[in-house]
Amino acid sequence: MNILVVNDDGIRSPGIVKLAQAAARFGTVTVAAPDAQCSAMSQHIHVYDPIEVSPAAFPAEGVRAWRIGGTPADCVKAAVHYLCTGEDAPDVVFSGINDGWNAGFDDLYSGTIGAAMEGLRFGIPAFAFSASGGSDFSAADRYLQPIIEELLSYPRCLDVVWSVNFPDGDADGVKGIRRGVKPAQTQFYTDRFLRTDRPDGSFVLQPASELVCSAEPGSDVDWILRGYITIGKVRSTVIGTDLP
């Protein structure tokens, strides 16, 4: 199996190393990741500016890596058209592990989800992985490999991204896995800004988001906050199931 690993936090993110190492147990891995932080890019692409593509050193044995001077979706385009062609064409796209959860309305903004959606556009099944952020990946360390094995056993699906979120805290605190969860009808990270007014009447808004404390019962946000790993679908509204 040929596995394309992408993300939105950049090629230096510890999360993408974790994902590439786990993916390498299932096939041949190529990493194509942004050279800089690209969170909340959704499926944004470059249409005028040039995109620089360079080989990159990567701390995972047997993994070929490239750093891309573009967005997460640009990374998928570059990989499919130039880096993973012919017999090396990707069979699946893995996106993540994101530094921060992707759930609720935040799926709309997520570069992690956006990169996976770009995979669907090329007819490649795609999976997104997210964690609470920071340096604690203990839950992912324990559960990532069996979850990947489970996801790869699912029927080939070309109109949805399977999205996995690991809860906060260590692996021993995980209460279980909730499958088939639906996105909460709210943002996980609230719209909050610190405003600084200027004498000319303009002002500056500094993002200062905070996590919500609760969400509707049974939603992805609700289960994550309660300490569960969640697996759910994020459906594309423009891609049908009749792709090759």
Q: What is the pLDDT of residues 70-123, one digit of tens each?
A: 999 999 999 999 999 999 999 999 999 999 999 988 899 999 999 999 999 999
**pLDDT value, residue 236:** 82
**pLDDT value, residue 204:** 95
**pLDDT value, residue 241:** 53
Question: Which residues, 6 or more positions from 164, have their beta carbon under 8 angstroms from its beta carbon?
Answer: 96, 127, 128, 129, 130, 147, 151, 229, 230, 231
**pLDDT value, residue 64:** 96
**pLDDT value, residue 243:** 46
Phi and psi based region of residue 201 (left: phi greater than 0; alpha: psi -120 to 50; beta: remaining): left
What phi and psi, each to the nearest 5 degrees, are found at residue 233? -105, 140
Paired residues of 3 in beta bridges: 29, 92
Question: Which residues, 6 or more positions from 196, have their beta carbon under 8 angstroms from its beta carbon?
Answer: 203, 204, 206
Residues 83, 30: contact at Cβ < 8 Å? yes
Sole residue written with tokens 């997104």: 128
Whole-model pTM: value is: 0.92
**pLDDT value, residue 138:** 86
Low-confidence residues in the chain, pLDDT < 70: 134-135, 240-244
Residues 158, 172: contact at Cβ < 8 Å? no
**pLDDT value, residue 244:** 44
